[in-house]
Homo-oligomer: A and B are copies of this chain.
Amino acid sequence: MHYQLKPPVKKWSKTIASPCAACVVREKVFCTVLSDPELQEMAQFTVNVSMPAKQTILNEGDTSALLYNVTDGVLKIFKQLPDGRQQITGFLYPGDFLGIAKSKHYAYSAESITDVRLCRFKNAELENMFKKIPKLETWMLDTASNELIQSQDQLLLLGRKTAVERLCSFLLSISTRASLLGAKANNIHLPMGRESIADYLGLTTETISRTFSKLKKSNVIKSTGKGNIEIANMQAIRNLAIGS
C-alpha cells in the first residue's frame, strides 16, 4: 500500500535536548503544563508512530497499556454491535488524546481516517507522571470535563434531532473547531467519507448524501472541491442546527 505523510512542520535543532520541546501540538496536549525538565523526562517514555489511513490503532476491550496523543492526521473512535452496526463517538485531530485515562480497557476502537502520526506512551508511565506532577491530572480533568460536555451535546443530537439538524450541527462543530485553530469559519474541510459522517450522526450514507444535496439546493452550503464545503449562509445553518 502506498501512502505519504506530510513532512513534519518543524525540525528540532541539536541544541534542544528533547523532541517534545519542538512538538507541533505541544501547547494543545498535556505537555503544555510541563516544565522543560519535566518534558525531558516525559520524552524518554514517548515513541513517535506513523500509520497509513484505514489502519486499526486500538480495539475496544483490549488492555489499555498504551495511550496516544495525535500529532498529525485524523482518526475515528467507535463502538460496534455484534452484527456490525457502528457508532463513531468522535473524530480525533492533532492535539487530541487517544485512550481514556484511568481505565483498564479501551472503551472504544480507533482507526485512522487519513495517514496519522501519534505520540505513544505507556499508561503506567502516565500514571507515574500524574503522581509526580499534579498539574497533569488537573489538565486531564479539564479535558475530560470538556469531553463530557461535548458528549452530552451529541446525546441530544442522536436522541432528538432530525437528519438536517444533525448534519448542520456537525458542519457547525467542524467550523467552530477550525476557526479556533485560526482557519476561516466558512470554509471547512471534511477528511472523512460519507459513511463515517453517517456512523457519527446515527444515519446512513444515503441520508447524508440526500441531506447534503438538500442543503446545496437551498444555498446554505456549496461544494468547493473534494471534501471541501463552503458555508454560504452561516445564520441559516445555525438555525437549522437547532430546529428554529
Chain B residues positioned under 8 Å from A190 (CB to CB): none
Query: A153: nearest residue on chain B (CB-CB)?
Result: B79
CB–CB B87/A148 < 8 A: no
Q: Mark A191-229, 1 if CB is under 8 A from B, else 0.
A: 000000001011000000000000000000000000000
Are the C-beta atoms of B145 and A101 separated by less than 8 Å?
yes
- A8 interfacial contact with B, CB 8 Å: no
A155-B151 in contact given A137-B134, A138-B137, A243-B83 (Cβ < 8 Å): yes
One of B81, B141, B160, B243 near A87 (C-beta < 8 A): B160
Point out the residues of chain B lying under 8 angstroms from A159, CB to CB: 87, 158, 199, 201-202
List, in ascending order, chain B residues with CB within 8 A of A151's CB. 148, 151-152, 155
Closest to A83 in B: B243
Task: Tell me whether B156 and A154 are in contact (CB under 8 A).
Answer: no
Q: Is A89 an interface residue (CB 8 A)?
A: yes
With A and B bound together, what is the CA distance between A87 and B142 in angstroms?
24
Is the Cβ of A244 less than 8 Å from the Cβ of B83?
Answer: yes
How long is the Cα–Cα vector from A142 to B160 in the complex, in angstroms?
Answer: 29
Pick from B107, B149, B158, B244: contact of A100, CB under 8 Å: B149
A-B contact list, 12 entries, CB within 8 Å = A82-B244, A83-B244, A85-B243, A87-B159, A102-B141, A107-B148, A107-B152, A130-B138, A137-B138, A148-B148, A158-B158, A159-B201
